[in-house]
Amino acid sequence: MKEREVDFRALDYVSTYDDNLSCPICRSAFVDPVVVSDCDHHFCRDCLDYTSSWNQRSGTCPICRRAGRLNGSGSASKLLVNMLDELVVKCPKEAEGCDKQIKRGHLVDHINIYCQYTLVDCPQPECELKVRRKDAAQCLHQPVACLACRQNMTVQDLDSHWRNDCADHHVPCPSCAASIPYRYQKTHLALHCPETNAACPARQFGCPFNTKRKHLPSHALMCSLAKLAPYLSAQQQRQDEQDQARLLQEKKLATLQQDLDYYKMQPQQEKRVAAPPEDTSYFANNLADFELSDFEDFQPHASPTQHLLSLHENLREEVSRQANTIHEVDTRLSMMLLNENMRLKDELAYQGAQLSALMRQVGWLTNARLQSVQPNLVSPTDPADQGPSDSSRINPRLPVRRTTDEGRTKL
C-alpha cells in the first residue's frame, strides 16, 4: 500500500501548544525538527533548508545571525520529538465526516490504515476511480437512476441527490403526515404545517397567544391587535424612517455645533490677514454686462460664524418639523386605535343584545312546548266504575302556565 503524505502544518490542534514547540520561521509546531549546534536554535528541516542565509556546508542562524552548522543529520533530541508526537490533533478528513482525535505521532497510521474516509482504490478491477474506505465493499461508480425523478447518476451521488436536488422524493411530515418533498421539509415545518405551534401575527404588538397554526385564522378574527397588525406595521415602518431621518439631522447639527464652538474659542485678537486689493478694472470695463436685478437675492454672509449660525437655524427648523410630523403620526395612530376600540365595543354590545333576545325566544318556545304536551288526566270509561254524575268522571285540568315573561319559570 502506498503511504500517503500528511501536511502537518495544516493540522487542526485540539488544544493550544506551548510556544517553545513552534518553529520561529513557519510559526507552527515543529515538523522534523533540527538543531543548530553552535547556538542550539531549533527549526523545521524544510524551513531551514529554504532559508537563503543557510546551506548544508556553511551559513548563519536565521535568529541570531551567528555562523553555525548541523552535527550529522542535525535531528533534535528524542524528548522534543516525543512531546510533538503527544500533541492531539483532529483528523484531516473532518470536513468529510471523520470525527476522530488522535495523537500526531499516530496520524499517518490512522490515515493509511484506519480512517474510514480516506480514498482507496475501487474494488472493481476495471474501475480506476477512488472510493472511501468505508464504502470499499462495492463499487460506487456504477450508473443508477433515481427512483423518484429517473435522473441518471452514480451510486455515491444518490444520497446527496435525494437530500438536496430531487424534487420528486416525498417524505411524510412528522407533524401533519402530509407528503412533501424532502428538501422542503424544514420550510414546511417552519411556515406551513398546520400542526406546529405558531404565534399570533400581532405578537410584536403585544398579543401573547400561541397555538397550532390551523387555529390562528379563528383567533385572528377575534383578536383586535391582529386586525390592526397591518396598520401598526405600516406606522412602525414610517416611524422608523422618521427616526432615521431625525438621527441624521441630529448628527449634522452636532457637527455644526462643534464647528461653531471651535470658531467661538478662537482668540479675538487673531485677525485675518488683509487680502490684497482686488483689481476692479474688470468690473469698471464690463459694468454694462451686469444688471442690478441679478444681485437682489444674493446676500453673502459677513463671516463664517454667521454662515454656521444660519445653517444651525435651518437644521433646528428641520428638526422641529420632523418632531411635529412624528407627533402628528402618533396622534393619528391614537385616534385610529380609539375609533377601532369603540367600534369593537359597539359590536360586542350588539351581539350581547342579540344573544339575550334569542335566549328569551328559546324560553318562550320551551314553555309553549311543555304546555302542549301536558296530559289531560281523565278517569276510566268503564260503566261499572262510573259515578252517579258526569262531573265526577273528569278530573280538573292542571293550572295553565302563563306564556308571558312575568310568569315564566326557569327550567
Render pLDDT for 376-397 as a digit per residue (tens, 0 to 9): 444 444 444 444 444 444 444 4
Domains in the chain: ranges and CATH: 8-135 (3.30.40.10), 143-192 (3.30.40.10)
Q: What is the mean pLDDT of residues 111-115?
A: 87
Structure confidence at residue 137 (pLDDT): 74
pLDDT tens-place string over residues 283-339: 455 445 545 454 444 455 556 677 777 888 888 888 888 888 898 888 888 888 888
pLDDT in tens, 174-183: 888 788 877 7
**pLDDT higher than 60, residue 273:** no
More reliable by pLDDT, 357 or 162: 357
pLDDT in tens, 11-29: 889 988 888 899 988 888 9
- Burial of residue 116 (CB within 10 Å: 0-12, 13-18, 19+) is middle
State how far the Cα of 159 lies from the Cα of 313, in Å rounded to an integer.
Answer: 69
Q: What is the pLDDT of residues 329-354, one digit of tens each?
A: 888 888 888 888 888 899 899 999 99
Q: What is the pLDDT of residue 89?
A: 92
Residue 95 CB neighbour total at 10 angstroms = 8
Q: Which residue has the higher pLDDT, 144 or 375?
A: 144
Query: Distances in Å between the alpha carbon of 125 and those of 20, 128, 380?
Result: 50, 8, 111
| CA–CA separation, 355 and 349 (whole Å) | 10
- Whole-angstrom Cα distance, residue 131 to residue 234? 57
Bigger pLDDT: 49 or 376?
49
Question: Angle at the Cα of 10 (from 93 to 6), degrees rounded to 5?
Answer: 65
Where does the pLDDT of residue 398 fall: very low under 50, low under 70, confident under 90, or very high at 90 and above?
A: very low
| pLDDT average, residue stretch 192-214 | 84
Report which of residues 96 and 409 the model is more confident about. 96
pLDDT in tens, 54-106: 665 567 888 888 877 777 677 888 898 999 999 999 998 888 888 899 999 99
**What pLDDT is attached to residue 170?**
77
Is residue 127 within 8 Å of 136, Cβ to Cβ?
no
150: pLDDT confidence band, cut at 50, 70 and 90? confident
Q: Which candidate, 227, 208, 200, 263, places its Cα nearest to that of 343?
A: 227
Look at residue 271 in the predicted model and tell me its pLDDT: 45
- pLDDT for 57: 55
Average of per-residue pLDDT across 120-126: 79
How far apart CA 168 and CA 182 sit, in angstroms, is 8
